[in-house]
């Protein structure tokens, strides 16, 4: 499913966020929340903030999908139609809090209904076969789209 959409900003067309552009380059941590001040969402963001380097080392990108507010992939705003497509793709209800780890192959690896501790998240990623390969052989810089 191609999640391409263009947004108009100040008369200029900007390319919108595409989850499928992460495939084979990054893992994604999708955080679905009903609203930006939802306690579980705030707890999850604070937990992730404590280990930015660990997330970067694992090629993990954060995607916040807020039902009643703005959604973001890193600093890129995600349009409402794209956010809805992602919500539908991962079968997340509008008032549901969910954290979904998406592997570099683009598939859901783990799903949580509560904030996940950073230690558990990093251990989960480190146990994945592709991450095991990366740790043994090193990340190949030529496959990276951007630097964290």
pLDDT bucket at 105, cuts 50 / 70 / 90:
very high
CA neighbours within 13 Å on the CB side: how many for 83? 22
Q: Is residue 49 part of a domain?
A: yes
Q: Is residue 147 part of a domain?
A: no
b/e string for 31-68 if b means 16 or more Cβ within 10 A? bbbbebebebbeebeebbeebeebbebbbbbbbbbbbe
8 Å CB contact between 87 and 16: no
Our count of domains for the chain comes to: 1
Q: Is residue 143 part of a domain?
A: no
8 Å CB contact between 22 and 82: no
Q: Is residue 118 part of a domain?
A: yes
Q: Is residue 126 part of a domain?
A: yes
What is the pLDDT, as a whole number, of residue 9?
37
Return the CATH number at 122: 3.40.30.10
Q: Is residue 26 part of a domain?
A: yes
DSSP tally for the chain: helices H, then strands E: 5, 8
**What tens digit of pLDDT does each residue of 34-84 get?**
999 999 999 999 999 988 888 998 999 999 999 999 999 988 999 999 999
- Enter the pTM of the model: 0.82
Q: Is residue 41 part of a domain?
A: yes
What is the pLDDT, as a whole number, of residue 15?
52
User: Nearest 5 degrees, angle CA 65-CA 70-CA 75?
Assistant: 85
Q: Is residue 29 part of a domain?
A: yes
Query: Range of 55's domain?
Result: 22-137
């Amino acid at each position: 499913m191609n999640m391409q959409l263009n947004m108009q900003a100040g008369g200029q067309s900007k390319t919108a966020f595409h989850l499928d552009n992460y495939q084979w380059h990054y893992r994604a941590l999708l955080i679905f929340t009903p609203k930006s001040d939802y306690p579980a969402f705030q707890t999850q963001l604070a937990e992730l903030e404590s280990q930015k380097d660990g997330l970067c080392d694992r090629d993990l990108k954060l995607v916040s999908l807020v039902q009643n507010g703005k959604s973001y992939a890193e600093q890129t705003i995600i349009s409402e139609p794209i956010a809805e497509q992602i919500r539908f793709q991962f079968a997340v209800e509008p008032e549901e809090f969910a954290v979904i780890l998406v592997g570099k192959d683009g598939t859901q690896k783990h799903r949580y209904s509560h904030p996940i501790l950073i230690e558990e998240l990093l251990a989960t990623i480190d146990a994945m076969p592709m991450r095991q390969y990366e740790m043994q052989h090193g990340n190949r810089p030529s496959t990276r789209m951007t630097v964290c």
